[in-house]
Amino acid sequence: MAWYHTFFEGLPQQAWKLNQNEEYTQWEVDFLADVLELEPESRVLDVFGGYGRHALPLAERGYHITSVDIAKGYSEELSQAATAEGLPVEVVCGDFLTVPLEGKMFQAAYCMGNSFSFFPYEQMVPFIQRIADLMEPGARFVSHTELVAESVLPHFVNRSWMPVGEGEEEMVFLMNSTYDPLQGCIEAELTYVKGTERLTHVVQQYIYSLAELKRIFSQAGLTITETFTDLDGEPFRLGDEQLYLLAVKDH
């Protein structure tokens, strides 16, 4: 069983939410609606949708969102919020690689938050292929990551730590990482400390260059049309800390 099957529970789940910025999230939602060229009632696939950070505000605008995530807690939270607000969000809890989604076709899709790093090559290829197979011809796909090779390797740090949250929710996140160049993989020991609670996970993050992603996307029938380093649309360059990637499904 891969590490991400059980990772997003407890302290890691709390830390991820505490580290999000609502204003920036709203900016990302505006960006998604723009670059995906969403029309009223567009059917949109949210790959690894979590607790609905993007799905809920997009649904508030009238788009029909299908969110897929493996974390049961996040999925239940999103489902409850969407039901309470009467929003057009379908929540599917399961492994995106295997969960049944047959019969569904989407006019747009997105995958945010470093999720491209979850898979080694033999899983990355079918992962991207499945996204493409669920998209209508001409549909647009956006992803965000801070873990492409051009971002990570020029500034690779073995050890780091940072505080997350405030007051009673405050915790410390520590990371001890090593990079295996033959596997193109960062193995990281992640430790979360909150009061007397302490939890450590070991995760694997697979690093792809932008050129590698372009080849994988092309095999799946997706053409990368633009790459940005920020939400203002500045082009992505070597050493930039993050990448927003736009691809279009071939006709």
- 227 forms bridges with which residues in the sheet? 245
Query: DSSP for 222-236?
Result: EEEEEEESSTT-PBP
Tokens standing for residue 184: 């193109």
- What's residue 70's pLDDT? 93
- What's residue 2's pLDDT? 82
- What's residue 213's pLDDT? 97
Residue span(s) of the chain under CATH 2.20.25 come to: 151-205
- What's residue 143's pLDDT? 96
Sites in the chain below the pLDDT cut of 50: none
What is the residue type of 1? M
Contact 106, 44 (CB under 8 A): yes
- What's residue 14's pLDDT? 85
CATH of 4-147+208-249, one of 3.20.20.100, 3.40.50.150, 1.10.150.120, 3.40.50.300: 3.40.50.150
* Nearest-angstrom CA–CA distance, 72 and 101: 17
Query: DSSP for 41-83?
Result: T-EEEEET-TTTTTHHHHHHTT-EEEEEES-HHHHHHHHHHHH
Distance of alpha carbon 146 from the chain centroid: 10
Strands (E), the chain: 43-47, 64-69, 89-93, 106-111, 135-145, 159-164, 171-180, 185-194, 197-206, 222-228, 243-249
- What's residue 6's pLDDT? 84
Contact 176, 189 (CB under 8 A): yes
Residue span(s) of the chain under CATH 3.40.50.150 come to: 4-147+208-249
The pTM assigned to this predicted structure is: 0.93
- What's residue 21's pLDDT? 84
Contact 11, 192 (CB under 8 A): yes
- What's residue 5's pLDDT? 82
- What's residue 158's pLDDT? 95
Taking the domain 151-205, which CATH number applies? 2.20.25
